[in-house]
Amino acid sequence: MKNIRTQLKRFQYFYPYTVALVGASVGGQVNFMSCAWHTALSFDPPLFGVLVSRKRFSHGIISKAREFTVNFLSFERVKLSAQMGRKSGHDLDKVKEFKLRLARSKVIQSPIVEEAYVSFECRLAEVRAYGDHDLFVGEVLAVHEEPGCFNAEGILNPGKVRPLLYLGSDFYLTVDQDTLKHVLPD
């Protein structure tokens, strides 16, 4: 028998989700935040969506910049994820405080994060409110990937990179590369 809950005070049964640093720069300000609520939206055109609370400092930055980058972290960067997720750009300059290493994008003005194993440059296509978060829809204009982390088809190589997974309430873990398998329906 399963437990049934209809009072959903803490709705977080959907984890684990990978963690990305999401942010932008505009008018001399730059900010990134940890983000686990994200999804691919479309292959063609390539669209990627990130959820950002309206309370977040990054919400204003991305809205003004009309662009953002998405930067996926490996398990070794778990401390950085905690810092960029639990501290706010309202209170401190997180880039300076946590010594985030930024690099130039190829197409847009906002930087990517060097510590990431893969980064997306996105042009903001739409912002839409869903409950207490806004969905920022990005058209993916460029991908920067650490050599060896993906094969020629763009499939992640878990022998080379261990993606950071979030479980909610500051819990993290990563994948077990020994369980990798290719499965067809027969």
Identify residues 40-59 at the interface with a copy of itself (CB under 8 A).
40-49, 51
Burial class (CB in 10 A: 0-12, 13-18, 19+), 112: buried
| Binding residue (CB under 8 A) for a copy of itself from 1, 27, 28, 96 | 1
- Could you say which of 26, 29, 37, 66 contacts a copy of itself (CB under 8 A)? 37
Interface with a copy of itself includes 63 (CB under 8 A)?
no
Please name which of 58, 54, 51, 132 lies closest in space to residue 89, comparing C-alpha atoms.
58
Q: Which x/- pattern, by CB under 8 A, does the window 15-34 give for a copy of itself? A: xxxx----------------
CA distance linking residue 145 with residue 157, whole number of Å: 12
66, exposed or middle or buried, with CB in 10 Å at 0-12, 13-18, 19+? middle
Q: Which of 39, 90, 92, 101 is in the footprint of a copy of itself by CB under 8 A?
A: 39
**Phi and psi angles of residue 63, each rounded to the nearest 5 degrees, phi first:** -60, -40
Q: Is 91 in the site for a copy of itself (CB under 8 A)?
A: no
**Under DSSP, is residue 169 helix (H, G, I), strand (E, B) or coil?**
coil
Alpha-carbon distances of 110 from 51, 82, 121, rounded to whole Å:
18, 22, 8
Number of residues that bind a copy of itself (CB under 8 A): 87
| String marking each residue 104-143 x if it binds a copy of itself according to CB under 8 A | --xx----------xxx-------x-xxxx-x-x--xxxx
Distances, alpha carbon 128 to alpha carbons 44, 61, 142, 171, 186, in Å: 20, 16, 23, 29, 41
158 forms part of the interface with a copy of itself (CB under 8 A): yes
Which of these segments, 22-30, 61-69, 167-175, binds a copy of itself (CB under 8 A)?
A: 167-175
CB of 64 to a copy of itself, least distance (A): 23
